[in-house]
Amino acid sequence: MNTQRLNSFTDGVIAIIITIMVLSLPVPKGPGMAALLPLTVLFAAYALSFFKVGIYWSQHHHMLQVARKVNGRVLLANLFHLFWLSLIPFLVRWVGEAGVTRDTVLAFGVIMLLCSLSFALLRASLIAADGPDSPVAKATARSRKGLITIIAYVVAIGVVFISPTAAIVIYFAVAALWLVPDRRFEQLVS
Amino acid sequence: MTPTRLNALTDGVVAIVLTIMVLEIKIPAQPTLAAALEVLPLLAAYLLAFVNVAIFWNNHHHMMQSAHKVTGGVLWANHSLLFCLTLFPLMIRWIDEAGITPWPVASFGLVLVGSAIAYQLLERALIAAEGEDSVMQKALSHHLKEWASFAGYVAAIPLAFVSPYISVAIYVAVSIIWIIPDRRFERQA
């Protein structure tokens, strides 16, 4: 089976996830600059979440460009990945109401960890569907960024209990790590 | 890599952005004409935001007709554009609550500036992906309308503190020049 409908379904779900997050942003309580300042933190959380979802979509986009086959397991792995992504808007809403607290920062890390683990599962299921010589397997054979990301989130979850700020720094650092999307897929396509 | 999925994601996001803005509009408090008239300024603001998002989508649509290749850079520029576009519904909500006052109107201009910069980055990334002598590069060689709009948006931000209505007039004027979508790509095709 080809990847077409899996892709369009994923695009639809992610388009909704990435857009409804803005509904969690409250409007400033007044027309002045003073009303805007308390929202800076939540706005930063929104921007971080938006680009995290964007990064996952970009990676999905790149990986699925070289994927040739999908089966039931791939669909399930993809759905599992989308499930964790869909919890990100919920977290933004929580940060909006409760602020940046230890528990909200912790929950963000847990969701991020599960997003990256489920993405790794999706990759594994694509390789299982298309064989060890498939383009996905070749392109990701020496993938370290995925592993570094998972380790970084595990570390961040531990660090939250000492300093939530340090955990937030890790979240931003991981996002920066993915600024350059996986080039191996681009090389494989061209 | 082909732009099929980039287009699909963009269409999805822009469709939702355009549609959720209407949720920000409050229903008239009373079932009377007077109450309906009170909602009119906000309806106008909604129309303006709707038209501006639609303009970005139209130009994106035209430009992507000539795109054959996407790279990581293109995806990032596109995400940045989508990020700015998602802020329009927030601006409408703010104007709804605070009225046509300097800060919300200036912020509306800031969102427009951000969107325009992201759109420029997207153009550059696409040209880099397609290469020199591509249709993309040729079509995008003239930037007059873009610079004129950009100058308009930048001027509108400080002017909102003089009178927010001046800025609104500028936003309307810039929207009008884009009612005719980017012809550059139609000419190339």
Chain A's closest residue to B96, CA to CA, is A27
The SS3 call for residue A125 is helix
Contact A47 B98 (CB under 8 A): no
Average pLDDT, chain A: 91
**B11, B19, B75, B100: which to substitute to probe chain A, counting the most A Cβ within 10 Å?**
B75
Place of tokens 């209407």: B22
From the CB of residue A187, how many other CB atoms can be counted at a distance below 10 Å? 9
Let me know the angle formed at the C-alpha of A157 by A153 and A160, rounded to the nearest 5 degrees.
Answer: 130
Contact A181 B75 (CB under 8 A): yes
The answer, yes or no, to whether residue B132 has pLDDT greater than 90, is no
Pinpoint the alpha helices (H) of chain A. 4-20, 33-36, 40-66, 72-98, 102-130, 135-140, 145-159, 164-177, 183-189
The answer, yes or no, to whether residue B24 has pLDDT greater than 70, is yes
What is the structure's pLDDT at A142? 77
- A164 Cβ contact list (under 8 Å, min separation 6): A100, A101, A102, A105, A106
Q: Which long-range contacts (CB under 8 A, 24 or more apart) does A33-40 make?
A: A33/B103, A35/B103, A36/B103, A36/B107
pLDDT (average), residues B151-177: 95
What is the structure's pLDDT at B22? 85
Shortest Cα distance, chain A CAs vs residue B144, angstroms: 31
Question: What residues of chain B lie within 8 A of the CB of A33, using their CB?
Answer: 103
Between A and B, how many CB-CB pairs are < 8 A?
101
Task: Quote the domain boundaries for residue A135.
Answer: 4-189
Shortest Cα distance, chain B CAs vs residue A99, angstroms: 19
Q: Where are the domains of chain B?
A: 4-188
Q: What does the alpha-carbon distance between residue B105 and residue B99 come to, in Å, rounded to a whole number?
A: 9
Contact B94 A28 (CB under 8 A): yes
- B36 Cβ contact list (under 8 Å, min separation 6): B28
Question: What residues of chain B lie within 8 A of the CB of A14, using their CB?
Answer: 9, 12
Do B152 and B170 contact (CB within 8 A), yes or no?
A: yes
The percent of residues in chain B predicted with pLDDT above 70, rounded, is 98
Give the lowest-confidence range in A33-37, A44-48, A71-75.
A33-37
Do A135 and A68 contact (CB within 8 A), yes or no?
A: yes
Backbone angles phi, psi at A26, to 5 degrees: -80, 155
From the CB of residue A72, how many other CB atoms can be counted at a distance below 10 Å? 10
Instruction: Look at chain A and report how many structural domains it folds into.
Output: 1
The answer, yes or no, to whether residue B11 has pLDDT greater than 60, is yes
H or E stretch covering B177: helix B164-177
Q: B5 CB near a chain A CB, below 8 Å?
A: yes
Tokens of A153: 């989130």
Question: What residues of chain A lie within 8 A of the CB of B82, using their CB?
Answer: 18, 54
Backbone angles phi, psi at A105, to 5 degrees: -65, -40
Contact B82 A21 (CB under 8 A): no
Shortest Cα distance, chain B CAs vs residue A162, angstroms: 32
Single out the residue of B20, B44, B39, B42 nearest to residue B28, CA to CA: B39
**B79, B122, B167: which to substitute to probe chain A, counting the most A Cβ within 10 Å?**
B79
Do A114 and A84 contact (CB within 8 A), yes or no?
A: yes
H or E stretch covering B109: helix B102-130
Chain center to CA of B59: 10
Contact A14 B96 (CB under 8 A): no
pLDDT (average), residues A81-91: 95
Q: What does the alpha-carbon distance between residue A56 and residue B24 come to, in Å, rounded to a whole number?
A: 29
Chain B's closest residue to A30, CA to CA, is B98
Global ipTM: 0.83
Contact B89 A23 (CB under 8 A): yes
What is the structure's pLDDT at B182? 67
What is the structure's pLDDT at B120? 95
